[in-house]
């Protein structure tokens, strides 16, 4: 299976040597989650620089990364990505959206995504699964992932079905038919990277949010299972 990674941001240079860049994080997650017989290849498209596949069929499916940008920012590359997401939807091309990607799918397809009144959500948080699909195997009733966002989806796009949510982020995971799968959490992040981000943003987050986020890193994660869900979804 050939997976196209639509890179919407880069890891800060001072963190890159230790943690790599976002496409590498996603590749590591999916390779760690694959079955032995699964053959995976990856191609990265830097959408900030306007890089896209010549044909949608160049890859079996696409993953849209997270980004420090907001999906509602008035930037040419964001407008271009939004149009590309509409193409992916119209052609029913398999697409997974992570964080910014999750919000971009919603906004591009008549949903609503914007700054949340609650502010920042960081660290590990648990969502309750409210609907199960065949690709969500192995099954979970609760999903614990790392989060790092202050924007979120407040209205699902047409045809979307909510899969999971929690009080702070009611729309934390959704699916559109069998071709769009999106979630607010970051299964590709590791705890060390999350901690570095929180330390960097400590003043921006505020002390209460920062301390709660750091404390949450003691909890277990379901990242590998979500990686498996991503592969199941893209393959079927």
* pLDDT of res. 60: 97
Confirm whether 169 is a catalytic residue.
no
What is the domain-level CATH number for residue 108? 3.40.50.880
Cβ within 8 Å of residue 152, ≥6 positions away = 103, 113, 114, 116, 121, 169, 171, 184
* pLDDT of res. 236: 86
Per-residue pLDDT tens digits for 193-234: 999 999 999 999 999 999 999 999 999 999 999 999 999 999
Confirm whether 99 is a catalytic residue.
yes
Handedness of CA 144, 115, 157, 100 (dihedral sign): negative
Q: How many domains does one find in the chain?
A: 1
Per-residue pLDDT tens digits for 71-80: 999 999 999 9
Its domain, for residue 7, covers 2-235
Predicted structure pTM score: 0.97
| Integer Cα distance of 179 and 135 in angstroms | 12
Which of 59, 149, 169, 188 is catalytic? The answer is 188
Per-residue pLDDT tens digits for 39-86: 999 999 999 999 999 999 999 999 999 999 999 999 999 999 999 999
Average pLDDT of the segment spanning 107-121:
95
Which of 59, 89, 99, 121 is catalytic? The answer is 99
| Integer Cα distance of 135 and 139 in angstroms | 9
Confirm whether 207 is a catalytic residue.
no
Average pLDDT of the segment spanning 175-195:
98
Which of 89, 102, 149, 186 is catalytic? The answer is 186
* pLDDT of res. 36: 87
């Amino acid at each position: 299976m050939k997976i196209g990674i639509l890179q919407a941001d880069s890891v800060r240079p001072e963190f890159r040597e230790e943690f790599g860049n976002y496409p590498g994080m996603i590749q590591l997650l999916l390779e760690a989650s694959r079955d032995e017989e699964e053959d995976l290849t990856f191609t990265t498209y830097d959408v900030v620089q306007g890089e896209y596949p010549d044909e949608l069929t160049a890859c079996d499916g696409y993953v849209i990364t997270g980004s420090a940008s907001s999906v509602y920012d008035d930037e040419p590359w964001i407008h271009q990505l939004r149009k590309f997401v509409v193409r992916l939807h119209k052609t029913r091309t398999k697409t997974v959206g992570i964080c910014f990607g999750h919000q971009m799918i919603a906004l591009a397809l008549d949903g609503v995504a914007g700054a949340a009144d609650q502010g920042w959500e960081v660290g590990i948080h648990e969502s309750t699964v409210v609907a199960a699909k065949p690709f969500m195997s192995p099954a979970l009733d609760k999903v614990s992932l790392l989060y790092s966002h202050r924007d979120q989806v407040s209205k699902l796009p047409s045809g979307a079905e909510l899969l999971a949510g929690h009080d702070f982020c009611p729309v934390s995971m959704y699916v559109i038919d069998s071709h769009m799968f999106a979630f607010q959490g970051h299964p590709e992040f590791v705890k060390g990277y999350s901690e570095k981000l929180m330390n960097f943003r400590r003043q921006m987050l505020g002390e209460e949010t920062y301390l709660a986020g750091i404390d949450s890193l003691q909890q277990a994660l379901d990242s590998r299972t979500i990686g498996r869900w991503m592969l199941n979804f893209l393959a079927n």
